[in-house]
Amino acid sequence: MSLTLSRPPEAGANHLPIPSSGTTGRPHRDRAIDLIRFGCLVVVVILHSMMSAAVLGADGDVMPTVALLHTAGFTAASWFFQIMPLFFFIGGYAAINGWRRTQATGGTWADYIRARLRRLVIPVATLIGLAGAGLSIASELGVPADLLAEASTRIGQPLWFLAVYVGLTSLVPLAVHFHERAPKRTIAALAGAVIAVDSLVALTGVTGLGYLNFLFVWPLIQQFGFFYADAIHRPVRAWSAWTVMVLSLVSLGLLVELGVYSPNMLINLNPPTGALVLLGVAQMSVLRLSHSRLNEIVSGGSDRTTAGHEYRARIWERVISWGNSYGIQVYLWHMPIVITLIGALGYAAQLLSGVQVGDGLSAAGIVLPEIESNWWWLTRLPWLITVMGLAAVLAMALSKVPFPSEARLARFGSAAARVVRESFSTSEPRVESSALEVSEVPGAGERLSSSVPRALTAVTLAMGGIAIALLIGIAPLIWTLVSVAALLASLVLAATMKAQIPVGSEVPTVADRGRALASLG
């Protein structure tokens, strides 16, 4: 397999032109897409916060529970707040643009993977390490084991998204290669695989087989993002977008009515089904119709002569910049905050159990209201404000946690590799070392292919570390240590992958390479 999967695209009908960084030296970003991506994360935080609740059992124990999931209103609303297809779709849009910019400045797959892994893995490693330590301390303080197990599971649940996202990131160069060589056949193959898996589940009744769609649903939606990136600078054909949206929603409605898919789009998420593909196509059509208008709004409005135009543009710029900087931290830390708050409210309700504050009204019921009662609904807005406010503060604080630089990780990785190599070498260790050094010279014949095993191993370690926290949990502490060790190993390995330039390519400047790597967010 070659790391140079496709040539940097040329401007034209089938590819986005490479935007100039201008005099500021900053890469072009689509601010509307950045805003939507952050908005998707906020929707997830709101959804998880609304669904997380607890009640007092008959014996006075705090019992975590899931609110709203099986209500008719929730099922109907799920067609609007199920935004994961939209997130992966705009992720594909951003990914193909980032990969093409990397290629245009002489970068390779190693550059792309290294920057993405560092951006995604460091926040996850911080979460798992600190949350695991916190649960261990809670265990020593006497918190019941069943509550700790529940907390461990809830903290790990949102990590499925990052595990999938890391895997998709590693495949972006290959996926773009297929998109540019055979776009329609690639879509057809992935769509056929989704249909085959859904049919297999329907025929056998074995829902576990549906997890195979993790290999097809999200890559398919990502490929749609590639198509969108190619079409973004073409005139919008409103009738076409409306037609696609209506057809996808009607098809989804019919399949739900026939019992093929659940009417609850959250249930269709785990395991993913073709329902999410149809919903994603509808969301893509809505975005196509509103994209330019949204960019106009975040730019301050269409009337650039008004005094408020610049003021509004600055406000949107700050919101988008904050979301780009801290959005992933908010996503990761909102569940620990929710769990901690529920635990505190549950403890307070236990202390106030039996205390009456009015006719038939208990103090415990005020602190921990009955789910879906009038008081419960009245407290949801303060609850959401508290969760999101604390998540924002914690996100900014934890983003300042010191982490070894990439250069330091690379030095550690090289030193560790040298120790291992010398330990297992039986003869002429210096010759082997010299050969390795020669192979690392840019332009060496086997250099591109030699990075592939390291890149794949780094991605596998990252996904494995996340999967441990997701499937096994982060308590007891041993699983935290194993998970964090795998994540750190992936970062060390990624840091040792030096950027490679295909033979005959023009060597980019340091500034060019810096701009390319900065654009990978």
What's the pLDDT score for residue 489?
92
- Cβ contacts of 347 within 8 Å, gap of 6 or more: 62
Residue 1 covered by a domain: no
Is the pLDDT at 496 greater than 70, yes or no?
A: yes
Provide the domain limits for residue 487: 26-352+372-403+440-518
Residue 163 covered by a domain: yes
Is the pLDDT at 145 greater than 90, yes or no?
A: no
| Structure token pair of residue 366 | 């005020």
Residue 14 covered by a domain: no
Rounded mean pLDDT of 230-235?
Answer: 88
Give Cα 341 distance to the centre of its chain.
25
> What span, in angstroms and rounded, lies between the C-alpha atoms of 488 and 238?
48
Give the SS3 label for residue 107.
Answer: coil
> What span, in angstroms and rounded, lies between the C-alpha atoms of 170 and 323?
23
Residue 429 covered by a domain: no
Computed from CA positions of residues 402, 406, 408, 412, in that sequence, does the dihedral angle turn out positive or negative? positive
Helices (H), 7-142: 31-51, 72-81, 84-104, 109-140
What interhelical angle do 109-140 and 477-495 show, nearest 10?
160
Tens-place pLDDT, residues 32-63 = 899 999 999 999 999 999 998 888 877 777 78
Give the SS3 label for residue 169.
Answer: helix
CB atoms within 10 A of CB 502: 16
> What span, in angstroms and rounded, lies between the C-alpha atoms of 299 and 146?
50
Tens-place pLDDT, residues 363-393 = 888 888 888 889 899 999 999 999 999 999 9
Tens-place pLDDT, residues 253-266 = 999 999 999 999 99
What's the pLDDT score for residue 477?
86
Residue 71 covered by a domain: yes
What's the pLDDT score for residue 515?
44
Q: Which H, E and C letters describe 278-341, residue by residue?
A: HHHHHHHHHHHHHHHHHHHHHCCCCCCCCCHHHHHHHHHHHHHHHHHHHHHHHHHHHHHHHHHH
Tell me the pTM.
0.81
Residue 169 covered by a domain: yes
Residue 10 covered by a domain: no
Mean pLDDT, the chain, integer: 81
What's the pLDDT score for residue 18?
37
The three-point CA angle 212-217-219 to 5° equals 110
- For residue 55, list its beta bridge partners: 63
Residue 7 covered by a domain: no
| Structure token pair of residue 52 | 């997380």
Kind of pairing between the strands at 356-358 and 361-362: antiparallel
Q: How many domains does the chain have?
A: 1
What's the pLDDT score for residue 516?
42
Kind of pairing between the strands at 62-66 and 52-56: antiparallel
For tokens 């996904």, the residue is 463
